[in-house]
Chains A and B, each alone.
Chain A
Amino acid sequence: MKPAPFDYAVPRTVAEAVAALGDTRRKAQVVAGGQSLILEMHLERVRPELVVDINRIPELDGMRVEGDELRVGALVRHAAFEPPDAVPGPLGTLLAQAVVNIAHPPIRSRGTMAGSYGWAHPASEWCAIGVALDATVELAGPDGARSVAARDYFLGPFRTARLPQELITAVRLPLLGENTGVGFIEHRRTHFCFAQVAVGTTLTVDDGVISDVRIALVNSADRPLRARAAEDALRGSELGALPAGPRVRDEHPFARAGRIAAEHDAAPLPEPFADVDHKRRIIAVLVARTLLQAANDRRARLAARQGDHR
C-alpha cells in the first residue's frame, strides 16, 4: 500500500512547528527521520491528517556537551553516534556499541535518537538506555518548554507523556565518569529483525566497591525498562575477581543479578519465536554478560589511563 493523503507542513523554526501542531482537531505526526513513521504510513496503520516535517529547522540539529550532560538535538541521526569519539567518555562507548544494532547504515543516516523517543517502541535501544541513565526529554509546546525525566516519559508501547501539540526538541543524557565501564549486547534472530532482547549496562567502581550500576532492558516489557532490583542487588558490593573467559558462572554476583533482572524487573511480552520464558532466559544471560563486559571495559580504561601517566 501507499501512504494515505495528508497535509504537509515544513516549519523553519520550533515556534512554527509548535504552531502547526497546535491545531489538535487534525491528527498530526511529526516526521524527522521517518524510518518508522513512513513505514507505518505505507501500511496505513498510521494515517495522519497532517505531517509536520521538522527536517528544515536548523536549531534542532547538533549535539553538544552542556555541563555534565550531552544534549542531543531532535535532528541528530543515529549515524552520528557511530564514531567511538563522537561523544566523550564511557557514554560515547556505550552509544557507539548500541547504535550498530539499530538497522543498517541507510536507516541510521535518516533515523534520529529523538525520533526513537517520540515513537517509543519497546524494542528501542536508545529509549532503554535513556531510562537507565536518567535521561531527560525536552518538549516544546504552546505553553512553552518543559522537561520530562525518561523514567516518567514512557507510558506503554508507542505511548508517552508527550502531548499531541508538543514537539521533542532534544534528549539530554548524563555523561559517565572515567571510573565507569559500559557494555551492550543485543540478541535477535537475524540482522534484519528487531531485538528479541538487548541489555546495556554501566558499572561504576570506587575502591573495589560497586558504587553505581545501571541496567537497561530492551524489549523486556511493554516499555523501556531499568532493572532496579538487579541494580540494588549489586550496588555497594565488592566487585571481586572477574571471570577469565566470557562465561559467567551461575554463582557469580553478575549471574545472580541477571536472574533477578529476568524474574523481578522484566515483564516480557510473548512474541513469535520468543515466548516469555525464552525472553527471561535471554535477559538473565545478557545481563550477566554485559556486566562482565562493563567490568572489563572499566579495567581496560584504567589500564589505558595508567599507561598514559607512565
Chain B
Amino acid sequence: MKTTLKVNGTDHVLDVEPRRVLADVLRDDLGLTGTHLGCEHGVCGACSILMDGEPIRSCLVLAVQADGRSLRTVEGLTGPDGEPHPLQRAFSAEHALQCGFCTPGFLMVAAGAMDADPDLADHPEAMDHVVGSNICRCTGYGPIRRAVERAAQERRTA
C-alpha cells in the first residue's frame, strides 16, 4: 500500500504491507535504527517516537496508519548544525544512560512532553508520567528525571 511518511521533515514515499508496524518500517526501510524495539508489546517504550507532536509507541501503530502524518524520531532531535538537543546534553550531564538501549524512547517521550508543556519541570506529577512511561533497566529513573528537569529548565530560561 502506497504510504507517505514524513519523518524528521523529509517525505518518504513507500510501498508498505499493511501488516508491518511503524517501528519496523522506520528501522528496516528507512534505516533509522535509532528507534529501538524492545518488548514489541507497548510496555518498554524503547520504540517511542512523536507523531504529530504526540508520543506514541511505534510498535503499536501500523506504518500505513502513519500515512501523511508528521513523525519525529531520535535522529531528528539534533539541530541542523548537528548540535545536540538540550535533552541529549542533559542526559549526558546527568549520567542518565548506561547501556543506552532505552535512551531514544525516553528522549522522545520527554521531547514531546517538553514541547506540550513549557513548565514541565514545575509539574512533578507530569514528570512522574513522563519518567514512568518507559522502562530503563540499568540507570534507574532518578538520573533520567534529573536530566529531563534540567533540559526543561534550560529550555525555559533560554
Contacts and interface: CB of A to CB of B under 8 A. Distances in A.
Interface stretch (B13-21, B73-81, B85-93): B13-21
A68 B119 CA distance: 35
B139 interface: no
Interface string B57-80: 101111011000000000000000
B73 to A, nearest CB: 14
Interface in B123-154: 129-130, 132-135
Contacts of A110: 56-57, 60-61
A307 interface: no
15 contacts: A2-B19, A6-B18, A10-B64, A31-B62, A38-B61, A39-B41, A42-B41, A100-B129, A104-B133, A105-B55, A106-B56, A109-B56, A110-B56, A110-B60, A110-B61
Interface in A26-46: 31, 34-35, 38-39, 42
B132 A39 contact: no
A113 B115 CA distance: 25
A61 interface: no
A192 B65 contact: no
Interface in A66-93: 79
Contact of A105 (B41, B43, B113): B113
Contact of A8 (B18, B42, B61): B18
Contact of B21 (A6, A8, A38, A51): A38
Nearest to A53: B65
Interface of B: 1, 17-21, 24, 40-43, 45, 48, 54-57, 59-62, 64-65, 109, 112-113, 129-130, 132-135
Contacts of B21: 2-3, 38, 42
Q: Which 3 residue pairs across A and B have the least CB separation, nearest first?
A: A8-B18, A104-B133, A106-B55
Given A2-B20, A55-B65, A8 B109 contact: no
A104 B132 contact: yes
B88 to A, nearest CB: 19
A104 B45 contact: yes
Contact of B57 (A51, A106, A191): A106
Contacts, number: 82
Given A2-B24, A34-B60, A34-B65, A106 B18 contact: no
A56 to B, nearest CB: 9
Interface string A236-266: 0000000000000000000000000000000
A107 B57 contact: yes
A150 B135 CA distance: 35
A4 B62 contact: no
Given A3-B62, A105-B109, A109-B54, 20 more contacts: A2-B20, A2-B24, A3-B21, A7-B18, A8-B1, A34-B60, A38-B61, A38-B62, A39-B41, A39-B60, A53-B62, A104-B45, A104-B129, A104-B133, A104-B134, A105-B55, A105-B112, A106-B45, A106-B57, A110-B60
A14 to B, nearest CB: 19
A144 interface: no
A110 B62 CA distance: 12
